[in-house]
Amino acid sequence: MIDVPTALALLQYGDSAYPAGGFAFSWGIEGLIADGLLDGRQDLDDFVWEQLSSRWNSMDRPLMARAYRAGDITALAAVDRTIEGATPSRPMREGSRRAGRALLGVSARNGGALSLSYRAVLADDTCGGHLPVAQAVVYRDAGLELPSAELVSGWTMVNGLVSAAVRLGSVGHLEAQRCLETARSGLAELLAEPVAADAEPWSFTPLIDIAVSRVRCRATRLFTT
C-alpha cells in the first residue's frame, strides 16, 4: 500500500500543471495528426500504448531505474550518455534534454540536493540532462522509492500525450478521460512486471520518429516535438 505522503507526492509530480515545461512537447502527436495518421480516440489509444510499450517501458523506464540506482554523479552522467547515443532522432534528443533540464531546474530551485549537484554538472555538458535521468534525480530528492518513481514517470508521459491530443483537437475532454482510463490499465500491467537491473534498453517507434523529424519542415507548429 502507498502511504499518504507518497500518494500526495505522486499527485503533485504527476499533475500536468507541474511547472516543468511538459506542455511544450507532443512527442510526435502533432506530426501524426498533421499527416492524417492520428484521428480520434482509437488512434490515440494505439499511439499511447506504442509509446508505453515500445519506448517508455523498454528504454526510458530501465534507464531511469539505472540512474535512480546510480551511486554518484559520474554514474548519472554515464546513463545520460547512453540515452544520448541510443536516441538517433535529433528532435527527440533535444526534446528529452529540454524536458529533463526543465524538470531538474524546478527541483533545484526548490532546494533538491541531488538536483542542485547534477544541475551544476550540466552547466558544462550540452549533451546531458535527458528526461529519464532528470526524473530519477528529482524523484530521489522527493523521497520516492523506485516503484513510485516509475509510476509517476509513466503517468506523466501518458498525461502529456493525451493533453497534447486535446490541445490539437484530435479528441475532446471526455474522450481524453476514456483514453486515460485505457492507458492506466496498460501502465498498471507494465508496472506489474519489474524490469531487471541489467536490462538492455531498446525502442522501436519508427513512425513516431519520422513524424518528429518532420516537425522542422512544417510552416506552423504548437509543440517542440
How remote is the C-alpha of 52 from its chain's centroid? Answer: 10
Q: Rounded CA gap, 37 and 25, in Å?
A: 18
pLDDT at 3: 87
pLDDT at 210: 83
pLDDT at 19: 72
Whole-structure pTM value:
0.92
pLDDT at 27: 83
Closest CA to 172 of 62, 58, 40: 40
Q: Give me the residues of the chain with pLDDT under 50, please.
A: none
Classify residue 204 as left (phi > 0), alpha (psi -120 to 50) or beta.
beta
pLDDT at 187: 97
pLDDT at 207: 83
The number of CA neighbours under 13 Å toward the Cβ of 170 is: 27
For the segment 113-163, what is each residue's pLDDT rounded down to a tens digit? 999 999 999 998 889 999 999 999 999 999 999 999 999 999 999 999 999
pLDDT at 126: 87
pLDDT at 21: 60
What is the residue type of 107? S
Burial of residue 200 (number of CB atoms within 10 Å: 0-12, 13-18, 19+): exposed
Q: Rounded CA gap, 200 and 166, in Å?
A: 34
Which residues does 49 contact at the CB level (< 8 Å), separation at least 6?
183, 186
Find the DSSP H helices in 69-205.
Answer: 73-86, 90-109, 113-122, 131-141, 146-167, 173-191
Domains, the chain, ordered by start: 40-217 (1.10.4190.10)
pLDDT at 121: 92
